[in-house]
């Protein structure tokens, strides 16, 4: 038996727990995955809640102290005006204290995942992990039998995640990055854009300011001739994060503008892209529509099984 990589007391995780996390991220070793997907699985339901007294709360406590002092003094000295002032200060202070306790919600720290991943890969490696873009020399083997759409990703590693998991075949899509990666596939994309006016172009991006601006960049791109093309935006948006069942338990509302697209599982990405290529308005609506249909199908099957047989 090989020696354990992690010491739970020191590392905060056991080998069994880490292997379970890797298994879920990789679909039991069947899929390539990214560190972002691994982190999301770890961070789910681990939102850090912090409560603290803001500056207005401290000011409120000060006003309460001054107000009560003025109140007591006015009662002893029978000074009506001071009494009214003391009451007003006290009530104002109570109001400030009531609104001065702030609750902050932050996602779980990424540091443990990076540390655990480095420690594990130093011993065992991680053959299914996409740590960097490595398909620069990709060629015809990553082309579908027939190209139905062109998918342009914001980042090169997103291209690797999709291509290595066979999304090009599942979607009948030519998949490249906006930087023109991989070069051979980018050349084919330019050729198709010049010769096929009906070719559907889909952009995918992170829920970040840079990602949201991607379709505008593509219209001005010097890499692909897209100035006269309609580009379907199938990227992730901050508003989507709080509604997507995979992401909401890990990403608080105040942090939805820095979420990588590959925080979603590959299955969810594939559902969304397949829906958008078939006419859905966005990645979010496509994912939710597909899952609602799945739930409905399960409910129908359960209902059918529950019906008594009639002779």
User: What's the pLDDT tens digit per position in 240-280?
Assistant: 999 999 999 999 999 999 999 999 999 999 999 999 999 88
* Structure tokens belonging to residue 275: 């829906």
Q: Exposed e or buried b for every residue in 198-228, given b needs 16+ CB within 10 A?
A: ebbbbbbbbbbeebbebbeebeebebbebee
User: What's the pLDDT tens digit per position in 148-160?
Assistant: 999 999 999 999 9
Among 64-73, 110-119, 271-280, whose mean pLDDT is lowest?
64-73
Rounded to a whole number of angstroms, the distance between the first and last alpha carbons of the chain is 59
In this prediction, residue 85 carries a pLDDT of 78
Contact between residue 276 and residue 282 where contact means Cβ atoms under 8 Å apart? yes
Contact between residue 146 and residue 124 where contact means Cβ atoms under 8 Å apart? no
CA distance 145 to 190: 18
Contacts of 222 (CB under 8 A, 6+ apart): none
Query: To which residue do tokens 């003094």 refer?
Result: 73
Helix, strand or coil, per DSSP, at residue 225: coil
Picking from 221, 262, 251, 207, the residue whose alpha carbon sits closest to that of residue 32 is 262
In this prediction, residue 104 carries a pLDDT of 83
In this prediction, residue 90 carries a pLDDT of 78
In this prediction, residue 295 carries a pLDDT of 54
User: Would you give the DSSP letter of residue 51?
Assistant: E
User: What's the pLDDT tens digit per position in 166-208?
Assistant: 999 999 999 999 999 999 999 999 999 999 999 999 999 999 9
């Amino acid at each position: 038996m090989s020696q354990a990589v992690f010491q739970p007391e020191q590392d905060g995780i056991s080998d069994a727990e880490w292997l379970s996390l890797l298994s879920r991220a990789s679909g039991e070793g069947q899929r390539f995955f990214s560190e972002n997907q691994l982190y999301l699985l770890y961070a789910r339901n681990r939102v850090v809640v912090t409560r603290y007294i803001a500056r207005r709360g401290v000011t409120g406590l000060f006003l309460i102290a001054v107000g009560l002092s003025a109140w007591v003094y006015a009662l002893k000295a029978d000074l009506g005006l001071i009494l009214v002032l003391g009451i007003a200060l006290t009530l104002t202070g109570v109001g400030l204290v009531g609104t001065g306790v702030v609750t902050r919600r932050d996602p779980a720290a990424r540091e443990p995942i990076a540390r655990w991943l480095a420690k594990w890969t130093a011993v065992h490696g991680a053959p299914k992990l996409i740590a960097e873009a490595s398909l620069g020399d990709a060629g015809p083997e990553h082309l579908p039998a027939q190209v139905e759409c062109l998918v342009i990703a914001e980042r090169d590693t997103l291209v690797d995640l999709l291509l290595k998991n066979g999304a090009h075949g599942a979607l009948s899509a030519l998949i490249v990055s906006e930087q023109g990666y991989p070069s051979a596939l980018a050349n084919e994309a330019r050729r198709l854009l010049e010769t096929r006016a009906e070719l559907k172009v889909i952009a995918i991006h992170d829920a970040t300011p840079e990602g949201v601006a991607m379709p505008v960049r593509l219209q001005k791109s010097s890499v692909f001739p897209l100035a006269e093309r309609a580009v379907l935006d199938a990227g992730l948006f901050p508003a989507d994060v709080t509604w997507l069942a995979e992401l909401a338990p890990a990403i608080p509302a105040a942090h939805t503008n820095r979420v990588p697209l590959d925080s979603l599982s590959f299955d969810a990405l594939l559902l969304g892209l397949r829906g958008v290529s078939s006419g859905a308005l966005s990645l979010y609506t496509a994912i939710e529509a597909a899952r609602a249909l799945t739930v409905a199908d399960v409910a129908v099957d359960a209902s059918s099984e529950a019906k008594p047989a009639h002779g």
